[in-house]
């Protein structure tokens, strides 16, 4: 007969082998149970010698070994199943099995719902803080608006007179031209020198001659945002030839910023007036600047009238 330790070892080996080739839990216990039955048969077939040991002690030890062996096999099998289940679940939810669209969809839906709940909670808190701070926000808005108004007044004092001077010079030329029988259609518009929040721009004056030549006096306002000057006042005069014989493009440009103002000669090969840069606190009182401005505008307007009235 096979000894008890050998039977137990053989049973455990066969159980492990059977566990590796089958996913069913209970067949794994068959070899251990068979080993226990063989042990009982061997014990009860012994003679009267050592009868107490074979009839009681050996069966009891075999029973204990059977329970312990079954528990070990069942425990290992349960751990293996749990590990496989967790791995499969994690793979399905996080990575998504290839072809397992339903698992992937459930995972994405769950994450989407959780994200929506979290963002809704955070946004709700932010919105609550926003509405509860109405007084502070209004106070801040009033302070910003007050700063913008002060800055607007300051830069209007600095820039409006120069803008008005350029417009007046343009209008004076066209008035004199009309007195000499030259037909000119003039369109007027109000473009501020300084604006708050949104830049304003366009043609403050546009003159169209009978020949189709067109000259525009355009302004793009300086911009104030949150109590600061963000953009400069820009003035330009684009000229378009109606006869198609001369395309001058921009013939005059002037700019005014926080600390300086400039006159640019856009066509030095055609005009002789010199560029200028000044830094006076009040540009309209800068005599050199006004003199250069007169010279540039006179030369540009003379060129425009000559081109517009020249025979074809």
DSSP string computed for 112-130: HHHHHHHHHHHHHHHHHHH
> At which residue do the structure tokens 């505008």 appear?
297
pLDDT tens-digit readout, 46-63? 555 555 555 565 566 566
pLDDT tens-digit readout, 68-123? 666 666 666 565 565 555 555 555 545 444 445 666 667 677 777 777 777 776 66
Mean of pLDDT values over 23-51: 55
Distance between CA 213 and CA 80 in Å, rounded? 91
Predicted confidence at residue 38, as pLDDT, reads: 58
| DSSP character string of 172-184 | HHHHHHHHTT--E
Q: Which two tokens stand for residue 175?
A: 């008035």
More confident residue, 14 or 61: 61
pLDDT reading at 284 higher than 70: yes
The upper half-sphere exposure of residue 195, i.e. CA atoms within 13 Å in the direction of its Cβ, equals 13
- Contacting residues for 13 by C-beta, under 8 A, at least 6 apart: 31
Mean of pLDDT values over 159-180: 94
Mean of pLDDT values over 9-20: 49
Predicted confidence at residue 276, as pLDDT, reads: 96
The upper half-sphere exposure of residue 262, i.e. CA atoms within 13 Å in the direction of its Cβ, equals 12
Tell me which H or E stretch contains 67.
helix 58-90
Predicted confidence at residue 2, as pLDDT, reads: 44
- Contacting residues for 134 by C-beta, under 8 A, at least 6 apart: none
pLDDT reading at 6 higher than 50: no
Please, are residues 265 and 273 in contact by the beta-carbon 8 Å criterion? yes
3-state helix, strand, coil split of the chain in percent (to 5) is 60, 20, 25
pLDDT tens-digit readout, 173-211? 999 999 999 999 999 999 999 998 888 999 999 999 998
pLDDT reading at 7 higher than 90: no
pLDDT reading at 156 higher than 80: yes
Predicted confidence at residue 96, as pLDDT, reads: 46
Please, are residues 15 and 73 in contact by the beta-carbon 8 Å criterion? yes
pLDDT reading at 166 higher than 70: yes
Distances (CA, A) of 113 to 91, 102, 116, 126, 161: 20, 16, 5, 20, 62
Predicted confidence at residue 18, as pLDDT, reads: 46
Please, are residues 261 and 162 in contact by the beta-carbon 8 Å criterion? yes
Distance between CA 1 and CA 7 in Å, rounded? 10
Strand order through the sheet with 228-231: 194-196, 222-225, 228-231
Degrees to nearest 5, angle at CA 45 with 44 and 47: 100
Distance between CA 149 and CA 157 in Å, rounded? 12
pTM (two decimals):
0.57
Predicted confidence at residue 124, as pLDDT, reads: 63
Considering 13-17, 131-135, 249-253, the range whose residues carry the highest mean pLDDT is 249-253
Q: Three-state DSSP class for 93? A: helix
- Write the Ramachandran bin of 23: left for phi over 0, alpha for psi from -120 to 50, otherwise beta: alpha
pLDDT tens-digit readout, 223-273? 988 778 888 999 999 999 876 555 558 899 999 998 899 999 988 888 999
Pairing of strands 261-264, 249-256: antiparallel
């Amino acid at each position: 007969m096979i000894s008890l330790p050998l039977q137990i070892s053989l049973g455990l080996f066969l159980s492990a082998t059977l566990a590796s080739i089958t996913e069913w839990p209970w067949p794994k216990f068959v070899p251990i149970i068979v080993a226990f039955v063989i042990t009982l048969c061997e014990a009860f077939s012994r003679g009267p010698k050592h009868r107490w040991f074979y009839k009681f002690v050996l069966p009891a030890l075999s029973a204990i070994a059977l329970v312990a062996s079954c528990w070990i096999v069942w425990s290992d099998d349960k751990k293996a199943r749990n590990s496989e289940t967790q791995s499969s679940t994690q793979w399905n939810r996080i990575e998504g099995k290839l072809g397992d669209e339903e698992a992937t969809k459930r995972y994405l839906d769950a994450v989407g719902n959780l994200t929506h709940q979290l963002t809704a909670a955070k946004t709700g808190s932010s919105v609550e803080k926003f509405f509860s701070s109405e007084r502070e926000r209004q106070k801040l808005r009033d302070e910003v608006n007050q700063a913008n108004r002060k800055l607007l007044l300051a830069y209007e004092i600095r820039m409006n007179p120069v803008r008005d001077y350029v417009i007046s010079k343009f209008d004076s030329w066209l008035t004199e031209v009309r007195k000499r029988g030259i037909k000119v259609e003039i369109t007027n518009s109000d473009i501020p020198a300084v604006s708050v929040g949104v830049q304003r721009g366009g043609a403050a004056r546009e003159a169209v001659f009978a020949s189709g030549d067109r000259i525009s006096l355009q302004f793009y306002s300086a911009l104030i945002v949150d109590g600061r000057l963000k953009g400069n006042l820009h003035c330009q005069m684009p000229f378009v030839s109606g006869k198609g014989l001369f395309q001058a493009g921009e013939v005059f440009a002037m700019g005014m910023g926080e600390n300086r103002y400039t006159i640019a000669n856009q066509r030095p090969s055609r005009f002789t007036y010199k560029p200028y840069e000044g830094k006076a606190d009040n540009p309209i009182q800068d005599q050199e600047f006004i003199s250069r401005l007169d010279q540039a505008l006179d030369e540009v307007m003379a060129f425009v009238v000559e081109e517009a009235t020249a025979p074809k």
